[in-house]
A = this chain, B = another copy of it.
Amino acid sequence: MDKAENPIEQLSAYEGELPIIATNRTRWFGGKASDAGRLDNLFAASRFDAVEFVDIELETARAKDWILQEFRENDVQLIISHHDFEETPSQDILDAIIDQCAEYGDIAKVATFPQDQTDTLTLLEAINTATQKGIDVAGISMGEIGSHTRVVGHLYGSKLGYAPLQADEEDYAPGQIPLEKLEALVETTKNASADEHLLSTLEEEEVTVPKEITLSD
């Protein structure tokens, strides 16, 4: 919501079929919202039927855990997220962060910045470990170095993918893969060897996405 114009108005006008994940981030979390009214606006968004998930930062959940139940009463599921835009924590710490996200919410989401390829494996390991514990987890290793984790993460149980629309071309974060291409790559890695027609699938794939709404993550 922090990067969208009049997000509440847009939600009112939304007639698409896809469910929406609402987020409203301050600068601290890579967004543009000011602190004042941020959670109130997110709460207002969560009242709309189309909004099925709200993404709340782990740090926010820790500091104000009483709001979580209020959000739940608006019939949304909670993604509790942790972002580290500078580095990737060690395996133990990352596991602990995911565990804590899962305690507060329905889906634990972590996005960490890799200094090298070893850090991308740490992120994949953490996803895999959480999945084996039965946690609904989503994970991304950010930047160019981690870009492939967006493609293979699902194989280790990552439950959410984030992709910009082709129309947002100017606005990709480093490592992001546009929606159609990401979908094709994910499909390919689902069973890379079984289907000799996958290359033609990559050509023919058509994805329809609502263009009306510009809420972005």
Seen from chain A, the residues whose Cβ lies within 8 Å of a Cβ on chain B are 117-118, 120-121, 124-125, 128, 132, 144, 147-148, 150-152, 155-157, 166, 169, 172, 174-178, 180-181, 184-185, 188-189, 191-194, 196, 198-199, 202-203
Q: Judging by beta carbons under 8 Å apart, are B150 and A192 in contact?
A: yes
Do B185 and A147 touch across chains, with their CB atoms under 8 A apart? no
Contact of A188 among B128, B157, B178, B185 (CB under 8 A): B185
A184: nearest chain-B partner, CB-CB: B199
| Secondary structure type dominating chain A contacts | helix
Q: How far is B194's CA from A172's CA once the two chains are assembled, in angstroms?
A: 9
Q: Which of chain B's residues have a CB closer than 8 A to the CB of A156? A: 117, 121
Q: B124 to A194, Cβ gap below 8 A?
A: no
Q: Are A180 and B199 in contact (CB under 8 A)?
A: yes
Please list 30 pairs of residues, one from A and one from B, whose beta carbons are closer than 8 Å in the complex, sorted by A's number: A117-B128, A117-B157, A118-B128, A118-B132, A120-B155, A121-B125, A121-B128, A121-B156, A124-B124, A125-B125, A144-B191, A148-B189, A148-B192, A150-B192, A151-B192, A169-B196, A172-B193, A174-B193, A175-B192, A175-B193, A176-B193, A177-B193, A178-B196, A180-B199, A181-B198, A184-B199, A185-B192, A199-B202, A199-B203, A202-B203
CB distance from A21 to the nearest CB of B (A): 21
